[in-house]
Amino acid sequence: MNLAQLRRLPFHAKTAGQLARTLLSSGIIGPQGGPKAIAALPAVLARYRFTTARELEQGALTCPQRVALIDDDGQLTYQELRDHARAFAKYLQQHAAASSLASGASPIRLGVMARNGRAIVTALGAKGYVGATIYLLNIGSSPEQLLGTLEENQITHLVVDSEFLERLPDNYSRDLDIVIGHVDPADAVPSHLPEELPTLAEVCARDFSAVKLPVFPSHGPIVLMSSGTTGIPKGIIRPEPAFPAVLSTIMSNMPWRADQKVQLTASIFHTWGWACLNIALGARNTIVTRRVFDPVACLEDIERHRLDGLLSSPVFYKQMVEADPTGTYDASSLTFIASSGHALSPQLVQDTIARFGPILANVYGSTELTLAAVANAKQIAADPTIGGKVASGTTMKILDSNGVEVPQGEVGEIFLSNSMTLTGYTKPGMEVERVQGLVSIGDLGYFDADGFLHVLGRADDMIIVGGENVHPQSVTEVLETMPGVHEVYSGGVDDPDTFKRIAVWVVRTKDALGQALTEDSIRAFVDEKLASHSIPRDVHFRDRLPRNPTGKVVPRLL
């Protein structure tokens, strides 16, 4: 497919042309795979849009024997992964037809509760082939939350790793079709579940030659779930992209190219991991991933596979740096590191660059709004506080509490919209709040004189101490540079006199510097660098900080 063909597709011509040039120059589309693959590209795009199914289908046509995925269960080529996804799609269609679902009022609603690996990738591919709505369930959900999610969303099929089977309570609907994704022999099937639950591997090995998939599937949305700290997690409904205009911003800000090998440790059931998966498949990359993050194992993978890129979140880079302080593992093959999921601190940027070189780029976005801005490696090295330039195809404004746009340089709440913005929530009665047609990302920030976005932290995290605004993230960034501090989290707590005050939770290093830390030394260090209202009144020492699967600190557990 050439530039002229891409421009004839149904989306804004300027955005299409910009993305087309990026995709062509990076080798993601173009003369790959011979005449058959090139000729098939327009039809595959028309049928599957930019879904996981599209990437697997085109990958199987372009480079069928290239390794697509290396996970804990081995490796799969693009053709093998495509065949698995199509087989599972046919299983879903056959099962749904037998249940009078496929052609009736109730579509296929596929839930997935799985860690990184072939199970979640296969399910995402099958979703695009059969035409379904997919729900990427949070693996931290309790039995009560899982049951509520299944019932609220009327999920008809569930792919679940064996380690999470025990989360299904006794009173789950017996109409639910359960398929085990990753199988660990140590995980027994709970007594209240059927003994002979099929595994995804078994399903994909069946003969479905008589089952025909739809020529033009009806692409249901993809639903990503919130962490659900209380109650049933809210489902965030996002359309599968007809054309991902924001993609050009990522590809043009880092040397992420076709036929590379990348390590994906960002959780696929969250926005960043899901986006990285589809970009990597679209680039016909070989994806290396593991179910559970281990910093040493990841360093070994970089050396063994000569990986080109890392796709993860800041806390995981921090752990990799700490796990190999002397540079034992050869990481010289890396050409880029893409970070997202939560904020990069100046200290972490410095440490990561010192270990891996000036190749760290930052991708800023959210579950509701996907990509918002990107800062390339050169920009991050020069100023770690930069959030980046606004993504192509994105409208972003900084608004005050009255919904009025603030002048350049002033702090306000970040609002934006693009083609990947959520269309709604699955919770009945929950509406998307918009101001000037834009949705809040929930953070405070400002634009500098050069048009770069700077993010200061969550809007609801900012507190007022004695009449002064305090951003807890600024206290965290200061304490991360203090000798003896291994990890730190800062937040606001209630105060009878000042309404709020800063509290910090600190994990010491295991050396003499860490043991020498005291509450007063923590306060004195902050006092040297920030105004008095930022000095933490409360200092708590902890053995560890509670984190969710994406590496974010969970404040309610502090």
Q: What is the rounded average pLDDT of the residues 507-529?
A: 94
The rounded radius of gyration (Å) of the Cα atoms in the chain is 24
The DSSP string of 444-509 is EEEE-TTS-EEEEEETTT-EEETTEEE-HHHHHHHHTTSTTEEEEEEEEEEETTTEEEEEEEEEE-
419 vs 152 pLDDT, higher one: 152
> Closest by alpha carbon to 240, among 145, 127, 328, 350?
127
The residue written with tokens 């700077």 in the block is 454
CA distance 460 to 306: 42
Considering the entire predicted model, what is its pTM? Answer: 0.85
Q: What is the structure's pLDDT at 98?
A: 76
What is the pLDDT, as a whole number, of residue 155? 95
At 164 the three-state DSSP class reads: helix
Closest CA to 504 of 521, 483, 490: 490
Q: pLDDT band for position 227 (50/70/90)?
A: low
Band (244; pLDDT cuts 50, 70, 90): low
pLDDT at 500: 82
**Residue-level pLDDT at 15:** 45
Burial class (CB in 10 A: 0-12, 13-18, 19+), 231: exposed
Using 50, 70 and 90 to split pLDDT, how confident is the model at 54? very high
Q: In the prediction, which pLDDT does 297 show?
A: 97
Q: Cα torsion at 63, 65, 70, 74 (round to 10°)?
A: 160
Least confident interval from 233-247, 355-369, 479-493, 509-523: 233-247
Which residues face 317 on adjacent strands? none
Q: Is the per-residue pLDDT at 267 higher than 90?
A: yes
Residues with Cβ within 8 Å of residue 39, at least 6 apart in sequence: none
Contacts for 183 with CB less than 8 Å, ≥ 6 apart: 161, 162, 199, 201
pLDDT band at 16 (very low <50, low <70, confident <90, very high): very low
Q: What is the crossing angle of helices 52-62 and 118-130, to 10°?
A: 100
Residues facing 508 on adjacent strands: 485
Predicted local distance difference test score (pLDDT) of residue 341: 79
pLDDT at 233: 84
- The model's pLDDT over 448-478, given as tens digits with 9 standing for 90+, comes to 999 999 998 888 888 888 677 788 888 998 9
Residue 315: is its pLDDT beyond 80?
yes
> For residue 308, what are the CA distances in angstroms to 260, 283, 303, 315?
6, 13, 10, 20
- Distance between CA atoms of 461 and 463, rounded to whole angstroms? 6
Q: CB–CB of 342/473 below 8 Å?
A: no
Structure tokens at 359: 């190749």
Q: Which of 462, 449, 523, 533 is nearest to 497 (CA)?
A: 533
- pLDDT tier at 419, thresholds 50, 70, 90: confident
Task: Report the pLDDT averaged over residues 487-505.
Answer: 86
Structural domains of the chain, ranges and CATH numbers in brackets: 78-237 (3.40.50.980), 247-458 (3.40.50.12780), 463-557 (3.30.300.30)
